Structure 1
């Protein structure tokens, strides 16, 4: 399920402000330092955030006009643009992140109500309603803020959004073959999810909501996320 557009837009806006704050507190020399994503510097992460805004604008333009406008020209071009953009000066990268984010906000404000129900295509080829685009942007903002490795964590994310994120990732992973059967339970005991094919043996994994979200999203594993017997949870494939 996709959150209502107005809810996703609020989360995306708060996430953009959160990420901008982290970015603007970084010294210029910090842009070339490694991020939490293998092979990417912080400059790569921030360039990706800017190009993602362009991609979301393309999808919303498609929804509004009916003219096929892919998020990216190709995956190869996407990767090349990020690699090239990461070599720019910190000032250029900061300006790019802010300008593209503001432009996306302007496009969103001009979206006709009926356009949100139009069907567009993700870069993986899957079809989705345009109403899902704000949710995708919200995920990008909050998760890549953590990827900057500049002090952010999944605990910064609004709790209702963290719940939606676990819903989203659990459903996505469950659709993939070979995922172990897992029952996720928050440490508070107030929420639970299932992941994988539940017809076989099931592993129960418990942890705080923010830590469960981080682990599912492939952003590390807190010691607080454990099986019932205290051992580490099973390994999961990467996501986003």
Structure 2
């Protein structure tokens, strides 16, 4: 499935819900076969075990459900009251037994997908209160959830790797990521050339080296999920250091 270029089309639930359902299914199947010991083992994220990642995903699903509830005309609920609340929920959540963590994730993601499927068409553009982002359309629940599911599936450090990301996800998320980095003063100058695309993109300000390779590998490098060993740099040298991707 391809993602349309028009923002009004590519964030339509009819387009993204099949991708979300498939992504969630892949993630939950991975989690289902992890042992208790494996769930407590390290993830790819600094200082986080796999349990931290799973709790983060569950609470993130709950937070998006709150936004959908608000958009439907319920009580005015922010995504989270603040960053401290978000972090505290994760710290408390990992203290539970691993089976509770597993069930919690399955329940939270399932409830959110059901809410997305049932959300009224006229309520997708209602502004809601996102953490750190002020008032934005609730439609952002769709793509932000897909990003969370796909990127954090890789963070579990199992057999799921960036090369497994759906092509539709990689195409759009690479575009989004490069656009965001272009405005980030911490991003060094760099030009991006994905093997699957004919054109180059600039990230950071001013001229910089050309980084080339498969789109999924470039996205993994830019989001801190890879050291970029599959990428080439012209002129030859080390890959530029990119800013940390927010968890």
1:9 is displaced (CA, Å) by 2.1
1:56 is displaced (CA, Å) by 0.6
Q: 1:219 & 1:112 partners in 2: Cα distance?
A: 36
The alpha-carbon distance between structure 1 residues 153 and 8, as it changes in their structure 2 partners (threshold 3 A), is same
Query: Does residue 1:228 correspond to 2:234, yes or no?
Result: yes
- Deviations along 1:101-131, one digit per CA (max 9) or x if unpaired, are 1110121122111111111232113432211
Does the 8 A contact of 1:9 with 1:138 survive in 2?
A: no
Does the 8 A contact of 2:209 with 2:235 survive in 1?
A: no
- Deviations along 1:23-73, one digit per CA (max 9) or x if unpaired, are 011111111111100011100100111000001101111222164211112
Query: Does residue 1:216 correspond to 2:219, yes or no?
Result: no
Aligned partner (choices 128, 142, 149) of residue 150 of structure 2 = 142
The alpha-carbon distance between structure 1 residues 230 and 188, as it changes in their structure 2 partners (threshold 3 A), is farther
**Alignment partner of 1:65: what SS?**
coil
1:188 is displaced (CA, Å) by 4.7
Moved more, 227-236 or 131-140: 227-236
Aligned partner (choices 87, 112, 119) of residue 95 of structure 2 = 87
**Alignment partner of 1:223: what SS?**
coil
Q: In the comparison of the two structures, how many residue pairs are matched?
A: 238
Partner of 1:55: 63
Q: 2:75 & 2:148 partners in 1: Cα distance?
A: 25
Question: What is the root-mean-square deviation of aligned Cα atoms in Å?
Answer: 1.7
Q: 2:48 & 2:184 partners in 1: Cα distance?
A: 26
Q: 2:101 & 2:89 partners in 1: Cα distance?
A: 13
Partner of 1:207: 213
Partner of 2:116: 108
The alpha-carbon distance between structure 1 residues 105 and 188, as it changes in their structure 2 partners (threshold 3 A), is closer
Q: 1:8 & 1:67 partners in 2: Cα distance?
A: 26
Does the 8 A contact of 1:217 with 1:238 survive in 2?
A: yes
Q: 2:137 & 2:45 partners in 1: Cα distance?
A: 29
Q: 2:18 & 2:236 partners in 1: Cα distance?
A: 38
Query: Does residue 1:10 correspond to 2:18, yes or no?
Result: yes
Moved more, 134-143 or 117-126: 117-126
Aligned partner (choices 197, 202, 210) of residue 194 of structure 1 = 202
Q: 1:84 & 1:65 partners in 2: Cα distance?
A: 30
TM-score normalised by length of structure 1: 0.93
Moved more, 34-43 or 221-230: 221-230
Does the 8 A contact of 2:77 with 2:129 survive in 1?
A: no
Aligned partner (choices 85, 99, 108) of residue 77 of structure 1 = 85
**Alignment partner of 1:205: what SS?**
strand
Does the 8 A contact of 1:182 with 1:195 survive in 2?
A: yes
